[in-house]
Amino acid sequence: MTNSLGKYWDQFAQAHQQPAPVSIRINPAKYKADLPRVPWSDYGFYLNERPVFTLDPLFHAGAYYVQEASSLFLEQVLKQTADLTQPLRVLDLCAAPGGKSTHLLSLLSPDSLLISNEVIRPRAQILWENIQKWGHTNVVVTNSDPSAFQKLKGYFDIILVDAPCSGEGLFRKDPEAQTEWSEENVMLCSQRQRRILNDVWPALKQNGLLIYSTCTYNRFENEENLSTWAKEHAVEFVSIQQPEAWNIETISFGPSVGYRFYPHRVQGEGFFISAFIKKENTDGVRIKPGARLNTPTTNVIDRIKPWTKEPDRFRWVQQDDLILQIPDLLLSEVAWISNLLYPIGKGTAVAEVKHDKLIPAHAFALSNAIQSDFFQITDLSEADAIAYLRKDTQFFDSTQKGFGLVQYHNLNLGWVNHLGNRTNNLYPSNWRIRMTTHR
């Protein structure tokens, strides 16, 4: 770093003595913020201090995601290189815990399909939870190895590889990242990154866009790595316009062009991003319509239809007892992909069928497609909302009957079942707040 930063080393070192800025990215389908904005993102905002996010009901309602500001530059890359009004097929290959996937969902058109993949199983579960909070139906979460995507030859318009890296850019936020750092690890990461690129490259369309990013500074994982890799592939790097005032460094190395974020120059952490177009002939795989998902009975569909906004845009499928909602235009592709990969979740779970009852699914309470006013709604105070999210049972009586939504600031938190003399809290046990300290 002293070599590459020269006289700026001191400023860089000093920045590491300062607290990391706190930023969030709002979910535009649910929430608006009136805060100082991250210059390169319509959805990114800075906070003056770090609240206890776990104790904010809005966080659990999927109103925002806590994300460091530099990485929100993905938005500029996409806006400047892709036509986001088009129905795109997008893969986020290294997606957990879901920062960039949820950002992508806010940027893509509703007829686009996002495959959000994470190879490490427990991390894939966290990813699925965060995706459900965001409330979109045009998504499949998979737990596949990067090499599995070779079955989807030439299918994707955009692939994001937010690669596992040595994490130098997070030293300030996460001191543990420093103890894990070593020169050997940098070299291991570098090789692994090239292997991941090779594995997933066939799945990109000809003229498709590959976006590569890391949260590290060294050239072995960034510009030099891409430059070495690009020599063996037909690629064209793209330049992103960015005003000088943003203080982002443009890095050219051999054929590669990338953008580096330093904590002493931007209000954010260390980050690197680069984008290039595939200039190789790639025949696209044929989507086989053979794969099918089971359809629920007409009776179930008739009962469930009024639960959703724009019901004509959707189809319902049944997996064991679970009813899922998937955009009509994407159904055959979702079925096809589900057969080829290892899906953890797809679309949005709407309800569970139990005998003749439909038990609403938690994910559906958080869905942007839900017709909330079809249900009984209870507005909660902040204290009651937190009690609900802790899954304290029977915390209010009610004269209402049946399943109802609970809301905080007009956003759904989840379901309750009104039994007349008491109300059962249906918040999923594994999602509940376990933190005991109070603000």
Using CA atoms, how far apart are residues 358 and 148, in angstroms rounded to an integer?
A: 36
Query: Does residue 120 bind ligand SAM (CB under 6 A)?
Result: yes
Query: Which is closer to ligand SAM, CB of 118 or CB of 269?
Result: 118
97 upstream amide cis, omega within 30 of 0: yes
Residues 203-262 that bind ligand SAM (CB under 6 A): none
Nearer to ligand SAM, 95 or 210 (CB): 95
- Out of 75, 118, 129, 384, the only residue in the binding site for ligand SAM (CB under 6 A) is 118
- The reply on whether position 194 binds ligand SAM by CB under 6 A is no
Q: For residues 237 and 105, what is the distance between their CA atoms, to the nearest angstrom? A: 24
Distance, in Å, from the CA atom of 424 to the CA atom of 402, rounded to the nearest integer, reads 10
Place of tokens 């960039």: 100
| CB 142 within 8 Å of CB 116 | yes
Q: Cβ of residue 204: shortest distance to ligand SAM, in angstroms?
A: 16
Nearer of residues 130 and 138 to ligand SAM, judged by Cβ: 130
Q: Which of 96, 107, 211, 275 binds ligand SAM (CB under 6 A)?
A: 96
Q: Which residue in 267, 234, 263, 239 sits closest to 251, CA to CA? A: 239
What value, to the nearest 5°, has the Cα angle with vertex 139 and ends 33 and 297?
115
Give, in order, the Cα–Cα distances in Å from 176 to each of 18, 179, 181, 323. Answer: 17, 5, 9, 42
Q: Is 146 in the site for ligand SAM (CB under 6 A)?
A: yes
Residue of the chain from 119, 159, 326, 351 that contacts ligand SAM (CB under 6 A): 119
- Residues whose CB is less than 8 angstroms from the CB of residue 320 and which lie 6 or more positions away in sequence, other chains included: none
- Could you say which of 72, 94, 240, 365 contacts ligand SAM (CB under 6 A)? 94
SS3 271: strand
User: Parallel, antiparallel, or unpaired for β 401-408 and 376-379?
Assistant: parallel
Whether 215 is a known active-site residue: answer yes
Minimum CB separation of residue 152 from ligand SAM in Å reads: 16
- Residue 162, interface with ligand SAM (CB under 6 A)? yes
Distance in Å, CB of 425 to ligand SAM, minimum: 30
Residues whose CB falls within 8 Å of the CB of residue 298, separated by 6 or more in sequence, listed in order: none
Q: Is 72 in the site for ligand SAM (CB under 6 A)?
A: no
192 lies in the site for ligand SAM, by CB under 6 A = yes
Interaction between residue 105 and ligand SAM (CB under 6 A): no
Q: Which stretch binds ligand SAM (CB under 6 A): 30-38, 90-98, 295-303, 312-320?
A: 90-98
Q: Which of 91, 95, 266, 341 binds ligand SAM (CB under 6 A)?
A: 95
Q: Which is nearer to ligand SAM, 97 or 255 (CB)?
A: 97
Give CA separation, 296 vs 5, 304, 305, 318, 362, in Å.
61, 10, 12, 5, 19
Residues belonging to the active site: 215
Residue ranges binding ligand SAM (CB under 6 A): 94-100, 118-120, 123, 146, 162, 164, 192, 196
